[in-house]
Amino acid sequence: MTSPVHDRLKIKDVADRTGVAAATIRMWEQRYGFPTPTRTPAGYRLYTQSDIEAIRTVLALRRRGLSITAAVDRARLSVGVGEDERDLTAAETRPSIYAAVASVDATAHPRVLRRSTLAAMSHAIEDELLSRGARGLVIGAFQREPFYERVEHRYRQIAMRSDAAIVFADFPEVVSRAGEPTRIPIAPTDALGNEWAVVVDSPGYSACLLAWERPNRSPGGERMFEAILSLDPRAARRACGVAAQLAGRQDATVGRELDALLHGRPLATEPPASALTSLTNRMVAYLDGAEDPEP
């Protein structure tokens, strides 16, 4: 659907709102095909608010150490660019939960972690939710079905105590049953097909651990990820919003149910410091070996 004329912005407007020089914006378009403005009959570039959000996403990811190429690629996956009657962009068809949160939470600094460390941190987040007895909205992304099967018993327990539990992997089909995690299939080519996610949005407690898998492994052959941990309720809500969008494309009913849960849902209001203390202590116990996080 074409954006209203008053929503179309000149390149000077975009530069003023993002702090990126007009010459740089033109260079990005020429070199990376990003952003993708429309043109007037006279050839002048016109942008939308989505273009501004995408550029701000690039800036946020650059501050976190990503190259300009990687930042542009991830911005395309997290924010719709130049939305009009043109074909859907990669950002609309392959959303990235990681990039969506990295672009809004300035405290979420990326760290390169081993798979085993991510597993321990994930279990700590999940167990903190169960220990609080708060009914949350829980999202998990596992890349491949065998990876999910290793922790399926945990997510069945979580689902019984949550308003909703949604899990993503390369499942053959959508499976949605009462009292069980809803399975949503993803393709290996999807951005989420290369990501790890554990997201909790519940009263008084929110957390999201997000990561994307790096192509190189550790010297010992272990899978490595670039990860961010955020306890900001707004970050968790944004992650859930992307998950709802993804789920809705596979199953409209599931998407509507998630949207309904998110609509008007109060954000976790507890100051992060309290949750951070409890969660960090649990993580330390797992990582130190005092408790075994493996099934």
- Give φ, ψ of 72 to 5 degrees: -65, -45
Arithmetic mean of pLDDT, 161-172: 94
Tell me if 84 sits within 8 A of 37, measured CB to CB.
no
Number of neighbours of residue 161 by Cβ within 10 angstroms: 17
Domains of the chain: 5-93 (1.10.1660.10), 111-288 (3.30.870)
pLDDT, one tens digit per residue, over 8-43 is 889 999 998 888 899 999 999 888 889 989 988 888
What six digits make up the tokens of 31?
């070199």
Residue 63 has pLDDT above 80, yes or no: no
Residue with the two structure tokens 């949604």: 166
The pLDDT-based confidence of 267 (bands split at 50, 70, 90) is: confident
- pLDDT on residue 229: 86
- Residues 255, 258: Cα–Cα separation, whole Å: 5
Query: Pick from 156, 261, 164, 267: which is nearest to 206 by CA?
Result: 267
Query: Pick from 234, 241, 180, 235: which is nearest to 210 by CA?
Result: 235
- Strand-strand pairing, 38-39 and 45-46: antiparallel
- pLDDT on residue 285: 61
- pLDDT on residue 7: 62
- Strand-strand pairing, 137-141 and 164-169: parallel
Q: What is the mean pLDDT of the chain?
A: 81
2 sits in the region (left: phi over 0; alpha: psi -120 to 50; else beta) called: beta
